[in-house]
C-alpha cells in the first residue's frame, strides 16, 4: 500500500485516479471503515447547490444517465400513447430530471396530453443531492407541467425501497400504471444478504399491480455475489472505462472533476471493495441475472421502440465516438469502447 501511494493520485491520469480510490477502498477494508466512509461521502451535506452541481456535471459530461432515462421514457411513452390517465411510480426519483423530457413529450401528443400523476419514492439520505426534501422535486415538476399545460399531480413517498409496501404506492383504479427502476434495484439486498430478499419482493409487489410497463436501467457489472477478488477485478475493469470516459470530456485541470469523481463515483467504489454483508449496498448484477428475476416474478419482455434507438444515437453524436450503442436480445446497452456500462430494458 505504501508503494501504491507513491503511484496514484486523484489528479493524475484516469488509471492513477481510479488507483487512488481503489487504494482507499483497500485501506478501508483493512480498517473495517468502509461503511462510515460511504456514509460520510453520502451524508456530508455540502452547500445544496454545490452537490446538485456535482451530480449535474456528471449528468452533462457522460451520456449514461441520459441514455437510461431516454430509453425508459421511450418505453413509457409508447405504452401510454392511448391513455388518458397515467400514473408513474419512480422508485428512486432523485432530482426528477428523468421526467422533464417525458412531460414535454406528453404535452406535444396529438390529441392532447394525459393527466399525469407521479409517485416519487426516495429515501431521506438522498435529500443531500437535492438540498432538501422531495417537495422540491414536486414543485419543480409541477411548475414545468403547468408551463406545458399538462394536468399533473405529484405524490412524495420519502422512504427507502426496502420499506415500500402496497399502501405507499397510492394506486388508483382507472389509471394506466408505469413503474420505473432506474439505477435503483442494485441497492436492494437480495437472497444472499437477507431472508427478506427485497430485490425479488419489490418485483413481485409491482407485478401484483399489473402495470402496463416496467422499465429497468442498471449498470452492467457483476459485483453482487462475487467473492472479493473477482469483484475487485470487475470493479477495476468497469471503473477504468468510466474514468476514461470522464477524462475525455472533463479536462484534468477542471477543478470540479475531482469533486465529481469523489462524490459520485468514489463512494460507490469504496463500498464495493471495503464492505461486506448488509453494509455493502452497491450490489450490481448483469442483465442476464435481472432477466431471470423479472421472469421469475411473472413479467414478460416489452419490446423497445426503434424510435428511441434513433434518438439515443443522435444524443451520442454530442459525445466521444468511443461510446457505443448496441441492441441485443431486446435490450439496449451503452458502452465505452469494448466494455458495456449501462443496460436498459422494459417489461410488462
With respect to residue 170, please indicate whether it lies within any of the assigned structural domains. Answer: yes
> What confidence score (pLDDT) does residue 52 get?
62
With respect to residue 308, please indicate whether it lies within any of the assigned structural domains. Answer: no
> What confidence score (pLDDT) does residue 252 get?
80
With respect to residue 310, please indicate whether it lies within any of the assigned structural domains. Answer: no
With respect to residue 264, please indicate whether it lies within any of the assigned structural domains. Answer: yes
Helix (H, G, I), strand (E, B) or coil at 310: helix
Q: Is residue 187 domain-shared with residue 230, that is, in the same domain?
A: no
Rounded-to-integer distance, Cα 148 and Cα 202, Å: 33
> What confidence score (pLDDT) does residue 66 get?
95
HSE-CB at 87 with a 13 A cutoff on CA atoms is: 15
Residue 111 to residues 107, 147, 149, 227, Cα–Cα distance (Å) = 10, 18, 13, 54
> What confidence score (pLDDT) does residue 127 get?
59
> What confidence score (pLDDT) does residue 241 get?
96
Nearest partner of 119 among 139, 138, 105, 136, judged by Cα: 138
Q: Is residue 18 domain-shared with residue 76, that is, in the same domain?
A: no
Structural domain count of the chain = 2
> What confidence score (pLDDT) does residue 115 get?
98
Q: Is residue 178 domain-shared with residue 292, that is, in the same domain?
A: yes
197 is in which domain, residue-wise? Answer: 63-221+283-303+337-347
> What confidence score (pLDDT) does residue 131 get?
63
Q: Is residue 35 domain-shared with residue 124, that is, in the same domain?
A: no
Q: Is residue 106 domain-shared with residue 215, that is, in the same domain?
A: yes
Q: Is residue 249 domain-shared with residue 290, that is, in the same domain?
A: no
Q: Is 123 left (phi over 0), alpha (psi -120 to 50) or beta?
A: beta
Q: Is residue 102 domain-shared with residue 116, that is, in the same domain?
A: yes
With respect to residue 153, please indicate whether it lies within any of the assigned structural domains. Answer: yes
> What confidence score (pLDDT) does residue 264 get?
84
Q: Is residue 32 domain-shared with residue 86, that is, in the same domain?
A: no
Q: Is residue 97 domain-shared with residue 80, that is, in the same domain?
A: yes
Q: Is residue 91 domain-shared with residue 216, that is, in the same domain?
A: yes
With respect to residue 102, please indicate whether it lies within any of the assigned structural domains. Answer: yes
With respect to residue 163, please indicate whether it lies within any of the assigned structural domains. Answer: yes
Q: Is residue 245 domain-shared with residue 121, that is, in the same domain?
A: no
> What confidence score (pLDDT) does residue 5 get?
93
Q: Is residue 108 domain-shared with residue 158, that is, in the same domain?
A: yes
Nearest partner of 1 among 18, 24, 17, judged by Cα: 24
With respect to residue 290, please indicate whether it lies within any of the assigned structural domains. Answer: yes
What CATH number has the domain bearing residue 97? 3.40.50.150
Alpha helices, H only, the chain: 2-7, 14-31, 34-43, 48-61, 64-79, 98-107, 135-147, 198-207, 228-249, 255-261, 267-274, 287-296, 306-316
**How does DSSP classify residue 12?**
S
Residues of the chain with pLDDT under 50: 43-46
pLDDT digits (tens, 9 = 90+) for 268-323: 999 999 999 999 999 999 999 999 999 999 999 999 888 888 999 999 999 999 99
Amino acid at each position: 500500500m505504501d508503494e501504491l501511494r507513491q503511484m496514484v493520485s486523484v489528479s493524475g491520469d484516469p488509471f492513477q485516479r481510479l488507483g487512488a480510490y481503489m487504494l482507499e477502498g483497500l485501506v478501508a477494508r483493512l480498517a473495517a471503515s468502509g461503511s462510515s466512509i460511504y456514509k460520510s461521502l453520502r451524508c456530508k451535506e455540502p452547500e445544496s447547490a454545490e452537490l446538485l452541481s456535482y451530480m449535474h456535471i456528471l449528468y452533462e459530461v457522460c451520456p449514461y444517465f441520459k441514455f437510461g432515462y431516454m430509453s425508459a421514457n421511450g418505453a413509457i411513452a409508447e405504452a401510454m400513447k392511448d391513455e388518458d390517465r397515467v400514473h408513474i411510480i419512480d422508485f428512486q426519483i432523485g432530482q426528477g430530471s428523468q421526467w422533464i423530457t417525458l412531460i414535454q413529450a406528453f404535452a406535444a401528443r396529438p390529441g392532447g396530453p394525459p393527466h399525469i400523476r407521479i409517485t416519487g419514492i426516495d429515501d431521506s439520505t438522498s435529500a443531500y443531492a437535492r438540498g432538501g426534501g422531495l417537495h422540491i422535486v414536486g414543485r419543480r415538476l409541477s411548475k414545468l407541467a403547468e408551463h406545458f399545460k399538462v394536468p399533473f399531480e405529484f405524490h412524495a413517498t420519502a422512504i427507502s425501497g426496502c420499506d415500500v409496501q402496497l399502501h405507499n404506492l397510492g394506486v388508483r383504479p382507472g389509471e394506466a400504471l408505469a413503474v420505473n427502476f432506474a439505477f435503483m434495484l442494485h441497492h436492494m439486498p437480495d437472497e444472499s444478504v437477507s431472508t427478506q430478499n427485497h430485490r425479488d419482493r419489490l418485483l413481485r409487489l409491482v407485478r401484483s399491480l399489473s402495470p402496463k410497463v416496467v422499465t429497468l436501467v442498471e449498470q452492467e457489472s457483476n459485483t453482487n455475489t462475487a467473492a472479493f477478488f473477482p469483484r475487485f477485478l470487475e470493479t477495476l475493469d468497469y471503473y477504468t472505462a468510466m474514468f476514461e470516459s470522464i477524462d475525455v470530456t472533463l479536462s484534468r485541470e477542471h477543478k470540479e472533476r475531482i469533486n465529481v469523481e469523489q462524490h459520485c463515483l468514489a463512494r460507490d467504489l469504496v463500498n464495493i471493495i471495503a464492505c461486506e454483508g448488509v453494509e455493502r449496498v452497491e450490489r450490481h448484477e448483469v442483465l442476464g441475472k435481472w432477466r431471470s428475476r423479472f421472469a421469475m416474478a411473472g413479467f414478460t419482455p416489452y419490446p423497445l421502440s426503434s424510435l428511441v434507438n434513433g434518438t439515443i444515437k443522435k444524443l451520442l453524436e454530442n459525445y466521444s465516438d468511443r461510446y457505443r450503442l448496441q441492441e441485443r436480445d431486446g435490450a439496449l446497452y451503452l458502452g465505452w469502447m469494448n466494455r458495456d456500462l449501462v443496460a436498459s430494458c422494459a417489461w410488462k
